[in-house]
Structure 1
Amino acid sequence: MSRTRVKICGITRAEDAAAAIRAGADALGFVFYAKSPRSVSAAHAADIMAGLPVFVSKVGLFVNADAEEVRQVLAVCELDLLQFHGDETPAYCASFAKPYMKAIRMRDGVDVAEAMQAYASASAILLDSYKPGVPGGTGESFDWVRFPTNSERPLVLAGGLRPDNAGAAIASCKPYALDVSGGVESAPGIKCAHAMTRFIEAVSQADRRED
């Protein structure tokens, strides 16, 4: 059975990380962007990561960060993947000798194929909703018709995902992974264990239907 991976982003508490893992999350995201309500310090994130199982991927999210800031986080946190959500260039993204995922905000006129070609060094491409002045976590979805369904590269779907639309997202887009944050929260930065479980159960059910 093909399996859609799930990343729970915006982890700020150890208990939420544990609940996400119990629910079956493949990856946890930590936001190193001070303007986000889900922002964490490198030291706090490292404390949470210290209690994680070895096969759960740890992802660090950055938005137009100074390169030295990224290196300082990497010196403290053992991240498996970097996620860039701003206007970072391909050269910048590739400069940290770490696998990275580049977020493409789906504003009108964005050529996804062109963006994927520009970031050929990316391990994955994330397609997220566009909202002026908001680099992510909008809580809104974009038109899934724009999501390429025949890509050989890992494509991750984000934006407005919730337990009640995760199955439809998989049926429509057939992504490599879903990236959810606000859709499984009781408040910004506070995850709901029940919602995370429902989300991942919905993903598993959708995967079985796809097979």
Structure 2
Amino acid sequence: MRVKICGITNIEDALLAINAGADALGFVFYPESPRYIAPENAKAVIAALPPFVEKVALFVNETPDVIRSVCLSTGCTLAQIHFDVQDDFFSDVHFPTLRVIRAQKKEDILTYTDEYRLIDAYCEAYGGSGKRLNIEWFEGIDCSKIILAGGLDPENVASLKPYGFYGVDVSSGVEASYGKKDHKLVETFIQKAKV
């Protein structure tokens, strides 16, 4: 499974995650999040990263123009749209995007099956809540285009392998505190996801 470490706020955590084998890093451009990073700070972190790393910008309640502008100015490579929008919103961004489905019931995970999407547990706040989805919802379905998020940690990530998820996305499950990663947890999570 591919691994995204989300909620990156500093270069030390970013490099640790990459050196441990992460495929992608997530930067939260949502000011109300405790993991928020200002675009200029994200730009400095991204500038120090090695090549071939996906840099994912997470947005909530922003316009296509703002999303595209922030991605281009920071060096992010993918925009994660973490709020409900109409389908034409994605083409209006004019930048690679990833849809997020905040699932409340099993039927929610069966939408947009023809595209790669991130599926997270629904909560009033947007992401990073540590709330886990009912994993039984994914039994018997094609998970090859699903990136699973929500309530993941080093203790449970290995149990997801039989489902064939494209990837996993973790934030609070590998934190020492909001916006600061626990380096041992990051390393263990990636190792268990990849082995």
TM superposition score normalised by structure 1: 0.86
Correspondent of 1:179 among 169, 183, 193: 169
Correspondent of 2:179 among 189, 194, 204: 189
Specify whether residues 112 and 155 from structure 1 end up closer, same or farther in structure 2 by C-alpha distance, changes over 3 A only: same
Aligned counterpart, 1:208: none
Paired amino acid for 1:127: I
Tell me how large the CA RMSD over aligned residues is: 1.7
My pick for the range that moved more, 51-60 or 97-106, is 97-106
After TM superposition, give the deviation of residue 150 of structure 1 in Å.
Answer: 4.0
Aligned counterpart, 2:131: 140
CA distance in 2, matches of 1:29, 1:126: 13
Paired amino acid for 1:135: Y
Q: What secondary structure sits across from 1:20 in the alignment? A: helix
Aligned 8 A contact 1:64 1:88 in 2: no
Aligned 8 A contact 1:149 1:175 in 2: no
Aligned counterpart, 1:127: 119
Give 5+ residue unaligned stretches, structure 1: 206-211
Specify whether residues 148 and 35 from structure 1 end up closer, same or farther in structure 2 by C-alpha distance, changes over 3 A only: farther
Aligned counterpart, 1:6: 3
Q: Identity, % of aligned pairs?
A: 38
After TM superposition, give the deviation of residue 154 of structure 1 in Å.
Answer: 1.6
Aligned counterpart, 1:37: 34
Paired amino acid for 1:112: I
Aligned 8 A contact 1:9 1:28 in 2: yes
| 1:82-127 Cα shifts (integer Å, max 9, x gaps) | 10111122211222222211111111364333x215xx5x5x2111
CA distance in 1, matches of 2:166, 2:92: 25
Q: What secondary structure sits across from 1:111 in the alignment? A: helix
Give 5+ residue unaligned stretches, structure 2: none
Q: What secondary structure sits across from 1:103 in the alignment? A: strand
Q: What secondary structure sits across from 2:112 in the alignment? A: helix
Aligned residue pair count:
195
TM superposition score normalised by structure 2: 0.93
Aligned counterpart, 2:13: 16
Confirm whether residue 165 of structure 1 aligns to residue 156 of structure 2.
yes
| 1:106-164 Cα shifts (integer Å, max 9, x gaps) | 11364333x215xx5x5x21111112x21211101110111265437521000000001
Aligned 8 A contact 2:174 2:181 in 1: yes
Specify whether residues 41 and 76 from structure 1 end up closer, same or farther in structure 2 by C-alpha distance, changes over 3 A only: same
Aligned counterpart, 1:116: 112
CA distance in 2, matches of 1:28, 1:56: 8
Q: What secondary structure sits across from 1:201 in the alignment? A: helix
Paired amino acid for 2:130: G
Paired amino acid for 2:181: K
